[in-house]
């Protein structure tokens, strides 16, 4: 099991996250604002195309906030997994000079993306207030949702980073997969559209832990009219499948990373 909570590892992780922030925004005029500008620009384009032209979500309450939140969540997933994927290779020189736990390098990249996500989430909440969203007690469940989302990203990052050390084409493949996910997961459209098209397809999509947690965050923050795995299916075994898949992902990816990490320095 990773000893992430030891004092030495915490100090090392903190320093790596701090260094990552400095390098990421070095010589940049806007600095952190770029992490806000990118999802906002994507939101503006999607809103104009899908809402104004195709009238997607026209009868959905607070769909603009719903769409913005989905874009911010997906941008976090995209940025963090890409950071995690290249983390070991990018820090190759550091690994050759210093003996340190390899997993901390992966976690440091994802945590810096997590901080950006939390800052963007504050903007979403302010936008929701301005848009007249009435918050419910379910908003207090958001920390649990965010933790689940981060575990998904961490699990994916451990696997991707280990494979990328040997197979550099994975970076291009993962970019294509992310583009496909943008359409397969209900980011740009409400889940009700899929439900109207085919309830079976909607249930299959919600088995994806990322789709499940995205809908849960929207449900807890914005509206209870959005479909979640908990509201779509009454069978508790079925509802537990995304969580079981999440546990399986984290266990298998961490074990694969741990086994592969022994040869990282040699390959890099």
**Mean pLDDT of all residues in 87-109:** 86
* Chain mean pLDDT for the chain: 87
Read off the tokens for 249: 């992902």
Tell which wins on pLDDT, 241 or 91: 241
pLDDT at 257 over 90: yes
How far apart CA 24 and CA 194 sit, in angstroms, is: 38
pLDDT at 85 over 80: yes
**pLDDT tens profile 39-60:** 888 888 888 887 777 777 667 8
Residue 3 lies in a domain: no
Q: What is the separation of C-alpha 71 from the centre of its chain, rounded to a whole number of angstroms?
A: 10
Residue 2 lies in a domain: no
Residue 1 lies in a domain: no
Residue 5 lies in a domain: no
pLDDT at 132 over 60: yes
Show Cβ contacts of residue 83 under 8 Å, excluding neighbours closer than 6 positions.
Answer: 109, 110, 112, 113, 157
Number of domains in the chain: 1
Residue 36 lies in a domain: yes
**pLDDT tens profile 100-119:** 888 999 998 899 899 889 98
Domain range for 189: 10-267
Q: Predicted confidence band at 1 (pLDDT cuts at 50, 70, 90)?
A: very low
Task: Count CB atoms within 10 A of the CB of residue 10.
Answer: 12
pLDDT the model gives residue 31: 62
Tell which wins on pLDDT, 209 or 266: 209
> Percent of the chain beyond pLDDT 70?
93
pLDDT the model gives residue 101: 85
**pLDDT tens profile 142-200:** 999 999 999 999 999 999 999 999 999 999 999 999 999 988 898 988 888 888 888 89
**Ordered alpha helix ranges (H), 47-135:** 63-90, 92-97, 102-130
Tell which wins on pLDDT, 28 or 63: 63
């Amino acid at each position: 099991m990773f000893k992430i909570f030891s004092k030495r590892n915490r100090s090392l992780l903190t320093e790596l996250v701090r260094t990552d922030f400095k390098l990421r925004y070095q010589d940049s005029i806007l600095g952190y604002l770029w992490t806000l500008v990118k999802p906002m620009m994507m939101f503006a384009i999607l809103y104009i195309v899908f809402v104004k032209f195709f009238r997607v979500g026209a009868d959905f309450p607070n769909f603009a906030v719903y769409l913005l939140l989905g874009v911010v969540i997906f941008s976090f997933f995209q940025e963090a997994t890409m950071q995690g994927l290249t983390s070991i290779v990018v820090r190759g020189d550091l690994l050759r000079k210093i003996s340190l736990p390899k997993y901390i390098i992966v976690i440091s990249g994802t945590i810096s993306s997590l901080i950006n996500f939390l800052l963007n989430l504050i903007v979403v909440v302010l936008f929701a207030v301005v848009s007249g969203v009435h918050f419910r007690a379910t908003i207090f469940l958001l920390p649990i949702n965010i933790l689940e989302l981060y575990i998904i990203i961490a699990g994916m990052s451990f696997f991707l980073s280990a494979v990328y050390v040997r197979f550099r084409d994975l970076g291009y493949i993962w970019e294509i997969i992310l583009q496909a996910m943008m359409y397969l997961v209900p980011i740009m459209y409400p889940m009700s559209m899929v439900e109207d098209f085919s309830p079976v397809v909607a249930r299959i999509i919600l088995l994806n832990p990322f789709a499940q947690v995205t809908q849960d965050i929207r449900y807890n923050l914005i509206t209870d009219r959005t479909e979640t795995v908990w509201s779509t299916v009454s069978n508790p075994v079925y509802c537990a499948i995304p969580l079981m898949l999440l546990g399986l992902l984290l266990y298998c990816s961490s074990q694969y990373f741990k086994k592969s990490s022994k040869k990282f320095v040699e390959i890099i």
